[in-house]
């Protein structure tokens, strides 16, 4: 098998596939964290310091234990960490948010023996005869599966996205076990009800684990953008796609962040195209690729095209939410507080009592988060300190945790995408007239 090397790699870890094996990982993680707390407590006592549970729990060593075990389990366990760090980070202890954020860039992958079994389960024992030059070392690895380059029977260069074994069957138990561990450990605020978020995460993860469904999303986006020369979407190979292996054409490109070295005009063009596509997904398709991971976008220097990858996290939105969110944005654009509160409550936000400090803070948070949309003319993301101001304001809102509840799931997933786009625009120092791009859908 081409690319099958014997060299050891710290990122190459076998995935526990049985329910008991995965539960044992959670137990081991809990035991390690508890042991770490005792050791830290002893150090603090010897140093004459007052014992605080939070300081004993949130140590660098415990951070590594949690992140390493979740990364080794992959699947729903790792995804729960990603979802919590992305979507409730403003209401979690900063240390826990940092622990969970590590998972977004983790790239561990399964060893060759486990990979061969996954391929045999999908294509049969003679699977190697289907492909030429299958590369064992993956091009990329994420929470649900890893991507391998090879050549199809018709000679085309393709990639195979191979799902980790046991991931689909373990979604419910993984989510429940990790949530229970976080709750019992005291890492989650006592008043934070994440049950609706976790139930929705289970449904979303089961969709992501169905590669036939992802193939449909990939095909839909390919059809939508076929005539748009700004974008390039891989082509699905239905005959080679299985429930646990997604086959598609190989499309080369550079990391999207590499455009930071290009002229300002090109950076602005690329980010304007991505922001426009985001609004098109919401308001026209009502179907949004909600994963803001930068690795899902690449840039082709020869053509200036943007390559779109990984549609597993694509989410369909209800018409009622899209219409309600349209009203929310329109109210924010005119800074009409009463209309903004009404629209936010209509789609499921808890806005607090009228004239309360909490409501005033949440309104301020909304307006700040949507600042690039409200700004008339080009918004310079490189010069913006919006992220810092958001962090300061979120700490103030966190003081009102008794009033706060998990945001509506549709809004949470779209804001995840919105925040990711703004972060990317900041990273590549782009200037985008977001107001103009969104206004056509708000008239």
Cite the active site residues. Answer: 291
Distance CA 230, CA 233 (A): 10
Query: Which pLDDT does position 40 carry in this prediction?
Result: 42
Compute how many other C-beta atoms are within 10 angstroms of the C-beta atom of residue 213. Answer: 17
Query: Which pLDDT does position 202 carry in this prediction?
Result: 83
Query: Which pLDDT does position 351 carry in this prediction?
Result: 82
Distance CA 126, CA 194 (A): 45
| H/E element, 298 | strand 297-300
Does residue 343 sit in helix, strand or coil? helix
Q: How far is residue 211 from each of residues 51, 132, 316, measured CA to CA in Å?
A: 49, 22, 16
Query: Which pLDDT does position 38 carry in this prediction?
Result: 40
Query: Which pLDDT does position 80 carry in this prediction?
Result: 58
Task: List the helix and strand counts (H, then E) for the chain.
Answer: 17, 12
Tens-level pLDDT at each residue, the chain (443 residues): 544 444 445 556 555 445 555 445 554 544 444 444 444 444 444 455 443 444 444 455 555 555 555 555 555 555 555 555 544 444 445 555 555 555 555 556 788 888 999 999 999 999 999 999 999 999 887 778 889 999 999 999 999 999 988 778 778 877 777 677 666 655 555 566 667 777 877 888 888 889 999 999 999 999 989 999 999 999 999 999 999 999 999 999 999 999 999 999 999 999 999 999 999 999 999 999 988 788 899 999 999 999 999 898 899 999 999 999 999 999 999 888 899 999 999 988 878 788 888 888 888 888 888 999 999 999 999 999 888 888 777 777 666 665 566 678 888 889 889 988 998 999 999 999 999 999 999 87
Q: Which residues contact 209 (CB under 8 A, 6 or more apart)?
A: 144, 163, 167, 168, 171
Q: Where in the chain is the domain with CATH 3.30.200?
A: 111-163+210-251
Domain 111-163+210-251, CATH: 3.30.200
Q: Tell me, what DSSP letter sits at residue 281?
A: I
User: What are residue 307's DSSP bridge partners?
Assistant: 232, 298
Query: Which pLDDT does position 36 carry in this prediction?
Result: 42
Query: Which pLDDT does position 350 carry in this prediction?
Result: 79
Compute how many other C-beta atoms are within 10 angstroms of the C-beta atom of residue 358. Answer: 18
């Amino acid at each position: 098998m081409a690319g099958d090397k014997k060299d050891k790699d710290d990122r190459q870890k076998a995935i526990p596939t049985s329910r008991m094996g995965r539960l044992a990982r959670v137990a081991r993680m809990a035991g390690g964290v508890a042991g770490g707390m005792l050791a830290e407590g002893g150090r603090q006592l010897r140093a004459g310091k007052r014992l605080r549970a939070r300081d004993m729990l949130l140590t660098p060593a415990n951070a590594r234990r949690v992140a390493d075990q979740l990364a080794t389990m992959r699947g729903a366990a790792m995804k729960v960490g990603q979802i919590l760090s992305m979507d409730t980070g403003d209401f979690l202890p900063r240390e826990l948010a940092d622990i969970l954020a590590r998972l977004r860039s983790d790239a561990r992958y399964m060893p060759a023996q486990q990979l061969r079994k996954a391929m045999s389960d999908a294509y049969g024992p003679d699977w190697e005869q289907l492909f030429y030059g299958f590369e064992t070392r993956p091009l990329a690895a994420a929470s649900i599966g890893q991507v391998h380059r090879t050549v199809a029977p018709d000679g085309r260069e393709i990639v195979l996205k191979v799902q980790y074994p046991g991931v689909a069957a373990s979604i419910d138990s993984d989510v429940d076990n990790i949530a229970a561990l976080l709750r019992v450990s005291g890492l989650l605020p006592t008043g934070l009800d994440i049950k609706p978020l976790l139930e929705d995460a289970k449904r979303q993860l089961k969709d992501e684990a169905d590669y036939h469904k992802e193939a449909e999303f990939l095909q839909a986006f390919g059809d939508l953008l076929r005539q748009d020369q700004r974008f390039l979407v891989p082509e699905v190979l239905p005959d080679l796609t299985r429930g646990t292996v997604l086959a598609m054409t190989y499309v080369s490109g550079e990391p999207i962040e590499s455009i930071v070295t290009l002229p300002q005009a090109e950076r602005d063009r690329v980010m304007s195209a991505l922001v426009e596509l985001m609004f098109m997904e919401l308001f026209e398709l009502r179907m949004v690729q909600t994963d803001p991971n930068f690795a899902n976008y690449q840039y082709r220097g020869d053509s200036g095209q943007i390559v779109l990858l990984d549609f597993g996290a694509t989410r369909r939105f209800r018409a009622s939410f899209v219409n309600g969110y349209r009203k929310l944005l329109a109210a924010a654009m005119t800074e009409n507080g009463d209309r903004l509160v009404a629209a936010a409550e209509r789609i499921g936000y808890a806005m607090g009592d009228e004239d309360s400090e909490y409501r005033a803070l949440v309104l301020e948070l909304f307006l700040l988060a949507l600042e690039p949309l409200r700004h008339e003319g080009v918004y310079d993301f490189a010069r913006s300190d919006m992220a810092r101001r958001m962090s300061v304001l979120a700490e103030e809102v966190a003081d009102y945790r008794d009033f706060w509840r998990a945001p509506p799931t549709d809004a949470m997933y779209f804001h995840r995408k919105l925040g990711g786009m703004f972060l990317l625009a900041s990273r590549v120092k782009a200037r985008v007239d977001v107001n103009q791009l969104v206004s056509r859908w708000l008239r």
